[in-house]
Amino acid sequence: MNRLSLRQILVFLLIFTVGISICDAQTKSRSGGRDQGKGVSGIFSGKRSGSKIKAPKKASKVIKEQAKKEKKAKEDYVKSVKESQKRTIKIQTPDVQDRMKKNQKDIKVREKTKKKNTSPATRKAGRKYKK
């Protein structure tokens, strides 16, 4: 009783193979070819070369104003950072001021050399993976 009969196994395999063949029949082939029915009836998919969908004037105006505000806020932030740095240097003793200025120059030189070293490396990598 614990053993399945040969007939039950054959029925199971038959159902299994029929089920797989039905599933295979329903899959769409993914060949790279162009769909033959596409474009025949003159119906467009909505994408045309050079056509752009424009936002309403009010929305575009709000977006422009927001961009202006963000730009102004960024400029104000950069300005406040520079003023803060100047004030920080100004309140120090002359010895510390000299050391801070020297450190700033050293940092600029280090960043410059680092940038020079990384740019050739990225050019090499770009050439290596260029198609």
Q: Is the pLDDT of residue 2 over 60?
A: no
pLDDT higher than 90, residue 110: yes
Predicted TM-score (pTM) of the model is: 0.41
Given pLDDT bands bounded at 50, 70 and 90, which one contains residue 1? very low
Residues 10, 76: Cα–Cα separation, whole Å: 80
Q: How far apart are CA 10 and CA 22, in angstroms?
A: 18
Query: Once rounded to an integer, what is the mean pLDDT over residues 53-77?
Result: 93
Helices (H), the chain: 6-26, 57-90, 94-128
Q: What is the pLDDT of residue 68?
A: 96
pLDDT at 39: 53
Residues 6+ apart with CB under 8 A from 92: 100
Q: Is residue 64 very low, low, confident or very high in pLDDT (cuts 50, 70, 90)? A: very high
Q: Which of 29-38, 63-72, 116-125 has the lowest mean pLDDT?
A: 29-38
Q: In angstroms, rounded to a whole number, what is the distance separating the alpha carbons of residues 47 and 78?
A: 42
Cα 11 from chain centroid (whole Å) = 52
